[in-house]
Amino acid sequence: MTEDLLSRLATEQDPAQIELIYEQLVERHLDLVNAIANRYRRRGVEWDDLVQVGRLALCKAITGYRSGRGPGFRAYAVPTITGEIKRYFRDHVWDVRPPRRLQELQLDLRECEGHLGQQLGHSPSDRELAAALGIDESALRDAQVAGRVSTTISIDAPTESGSGTTWSDHLATQEKSYDLVEARVLLRPAVEVLSPRERRIIYLRFVCGWTQQEIGQTLGVSQMQVSRLLSRILGKLRAQVVPRARAS
């Protein structure tokens, strides 16, 4: 019946008849689409989306098939529908994008686990899965890792510990003391070229927080002189620190 409809579709000229034949072919193979889509349920894609992708692929198969060539329409349609569903997973589902080979292998792996588990009567081992897929265990482990990164969760989502904490609570924070250590490493050799008087002025101004007037009173100089001294000292420090910072 299917081959007869496809043969008529290839030669029919009447648009109304073409549409009717096309609808009959689609209706006859909706169960096939559902069966293939069912293999990929509960993998992060809504059932309606899977069916929609599968039905579009069925239409593509009907259009591309040539009656009388190959083993038959079903043999042509199954890989076409399966390929489109896998392509949809590859292009729209993965939050982290591993290589295409691993994406497709991971989908085959999940399908194989179910079938092989039914045949063996127990959960298949890695060796059994690798043998069934025709790959080595190293490639199998890569596919298993790829499956764990297909979707992501928000860092504000609660952890699985049940403690009420979120994943963001366990993220590393910026340690400000590292910047302080870096600054000290850069400044130490620069400060060593200053005279004891210059070091004291820098210490009083930037460590003790004294004003220029207070420093002038302690040193017996005017505030204007302190300002000029600070400008000269900072210039000397800048000349020492900037080349080192650029080199690092």
Residue found by looking up tokens 């792996």 in the block: 109
Give the model's pLDDT for residue 52.
Answer: 92
Do residues 66 and 89 make contact, with C-beta atoms less than 8 angstroms apart?
no
Give the integer Cα–Cα distance in Å for 135 and 147: 16
Give the model's pLDDT for residue 133.
Answer: 85
Give the model's pLDDT for residue 111.
Answer: 74
Give the integer Cα–Cα distance in Å for 23 and 8: 13
Q: What are the pLDDT tens digits along the chain (248 aa)?
A: 888 888 888 887 888 888 898 899 899 999 999 999 988 887 777 889 889 999 999 999 988 888 766 678 888 899 999 989 888 877 776 666 667 777 777 777 877 877 787 788 888 888 888 888 888 888 888 877 776 666 656 667 777 666 667 766 666 666 666 677 777 887 888 888 889 999 999 899 988 999 999 999 998 999 999 999 999 998 888 888 777 656 55
Do residues 16 and 33 make contact, with C-beta atoms less than 8 angstroms apart?
no
Give the model's pLDDT for residue 33.
Answer: 93
Give the integer Cα–Cα distance in Å for 4 and 52: 26
| CA distance from start to end of the chain | 77
Give the model's pLDDT for residue 86.
Answer: 84
Give the model's pLDDT for residue 57.
Answer: 93
The first and second tokens of residue 21, run together, are 């034949």
